[in-house]
Amino acid sequence: MSLHPVLSALGLSENESGTYLGNDEWSKTSDAGVLEPVNPTTGDVLGKVLASSQSDYDTIVERAQASFKVWRKTPAPRRGEAIRLCADALRAHKDALGSLVALEMGKSKPEGDGEVQEMIDIGDFAVGLSRQLYGLTMHSERPGHRMYEQWHPLGLIGIISAFNFPVAVWAWNSFIAAVCGDVTIWKPSPKTPLSAIASMKICNEALKAGGFPDLFFLFNDAGTELAQTFVDDKRIALVSFTGSTKVGRNVGERVAARMGRSLLELGGNNAIIVDESADLKMAIPAIVFGAVGTAGQRCTTTRRLFVHESIYDDVLSKLKTAYAQVEKKIGDPTDPANLMGPLNSQDGVKGFLAAIEKAKASGGIIESGGKALSDRKGNFVLPAIVTGLANTAEIVQHETFAPILYVMKYRDLDDAIDMQNDVPQGLSSSIFTTNLKRAEAFLAASGSDCGIANVNIGTSGAEIGGAFGGEKETGGGRESGSDAWRAYMRRQTNTINYSDALPLAQGIKFDL
């Protein structure tokens, strides 16, 4: 095995410890299993990552608790300074880390760089936020009383992230949590441990140089045992989980059983509606980026398309032309000329092919792609456009984490909105229209039921400034911008009596 140049550019070796224990120490445990992340472009193993043991985990939690005791007393703007250093370090490493994300996850180099940009952006956002963790003041009903609320750090935050955003989702959680005064412990996807290790090294070095305590810890699990310990651990105040609805449901139930908090970012089944007034010069590229970007492995990927019947044939033919262009630019994701890389794993390819078979068996017509590129190494597929299925078809209702776009026709906008809402998931949605009334109808309370609803923008590619997340089986969590920070803090309501009397609320009399 020869070391890939993208790894050496970040100072990584063929054998890495997957456990950051704090105190500038990476675990030397070698009997807890090994992760072997695979290059999805070639099928070759990229390196070996030593997994963490139960005793590593215990050390991490104990050190994180000790760190929290110090960090919670550190003024929030000072906490912001720590994250400013992390964002600056990421700026310096953007190209190298973006390449590693492309290499290990398989997304295109511009999307890998974009993911690192999201980390930088959330870092900047967190720095500003560190001076804006506002509470409200209320008017007390009692004379001589003052009432207000304040937000305190919550404690240890657990982050379980998925392979598709191997670094940005960690930053969304850990940077906001850090300015909130929390300490985070990260368990990344076993498919992308190297991107996680590199991110930890970059940020922890920056924290150390700035004289800050350990805020970020990391462990990697070779099986699922430690992950379960983590989810069940009462010392972890909040578990932020990104992944499938199936696993997320289990995480949510287990955390609820111990009265902990969870933040769930689960599956999506995102749709775009294209009405008869839409500007197709914008709609077509937005649909194609939404459907084939990250090879269909974003939770915000466009999976369903509802097109007004009057322009249906035109849209379908334009899409097929665009897909033919994409097919010419499928290849090594670290080459910036390519638009689409491989799927992250062979399991992903199997899921893609099984969905195509199921679509065909249900009467679906494959208008474009729908095949694995089995003449090449790696996990490459041709993205699929499928017509002829109703929104109610089982496969259309299901999130297949691969580039498959189901295209359907509609006549009335109300029907299109009903269909777009009629799935178990509720993450992202959008409409392409130049008609103000239809745009507003889509955004109204009776419109899209998703956490994200856009006009003349696709379903993927959300900015960090807004709250990110969705309804129904997407899990209800919100991360990133707006007031999502509140999930990482505990609210305390304070009433102070500065009078000489003791009036009770609601005018209750209690005379001794």
Binding site for ligand UN1 (CB under 6 A): 118, 164-165, 298-300, 460-462
- Name the residue nearer to ligand UN1 (CB basis): 126 or 462: 462
Minimum CB–partner distance for residue 341 and ligand UN1 (Å): 15
Q: Give the nearer residue to ligand UN1 in terms of CB position, either 59 or 430.
A: 430
DSSP codes of every residue in 173-231 = HHHHHHHTT-EEEEE--TT-HHHHHHHHHHHHHHHHHTT----EEE---SSSHHHHHHH
**Cα radius of gyration rounded to whole Å, the chain:** 24
Nearest 10 degrees: CA dihedral of 357, 359, 362, 368?
Answer: -100
Nearest-approach distance from CB 401 to ligand UN1, in angstroms = 10
Whole-angstrom distance, CA of residue 410 vs CA of residue 304 = 12
In the complex, minimum distance from the CB of residue 320 to ligand UN1, in angstroms, rounded to a whole number: 24
CB of 164 to ligand UN1, least distance (A): 5
Minimal distance in Å, beta carbon 44 to ligand UN1?
26
| H or E element at residue 56 | helix 54-71
The three state secondary structure string of 285-315 is: HHHHHHHHHHHHCCCCCEEEEEEECCCHHHH
Q: Which is nearer to ligand UN1, 221 or 265 (CB)?
A: 265
Minimum gap (Å) between residue 12 Cβ and ligand UN1: 24
> Looking at beta carbons only, is 298 or 472 nearer to ligand UN1?
298
Smallest distance from the beta carbon of 26 to ligand UN1, in angstroms?
28
- Count CB-CB contacts under 10 A for residue 38: 18
Contact assessment for residue 30 and residue 151, using Cβ atoms and an 8 Å cutoff: no
Single out the catalytic residue among 115, 265, 367, 473: 265
d(CA 364, CA 384): 11
205 is catalytic: no
Which structure tokens are listed for 383? 């993205």
Q: What is the 3-state secondary structure (H, E, C) of 82-112?
A: HHHHHHHHHHHCHHHHHHHHHHHHCCCHHHH
3-state secondary structure of 381: strand
Smaller CB separation from ligand UN1, 299 or 307: 299
Structure tokens at 123: 């870092």
How many other CB atoms are found less than 10 A from the CB of residue 421?
A: 18
Judged by beta carbon, residue 170 or residue 230, the one nearer ligand UN1 is: 170
Amino acid found at 286: A
Residue 336, burial from CB neighbour count under 10 angstroms (0-12, 13-18, 19+)? middle
CB of 134 to ligand UN1, least distance (A): 25
Name the nearest CA neighbour of 431 among 446, 416, 412.
416
For ligand UN1, give the closer residue by CB, 240 or 460.
460
Which structure tokens are listed for 265? 């970012």
In the complex with ligand UN1, the residue whose CB is nearer, 156 or 292, is: 292
**Helix, strand or coil, per DSSP, at residue 15:** strand
**Which residues are known catalytic residues?**
265
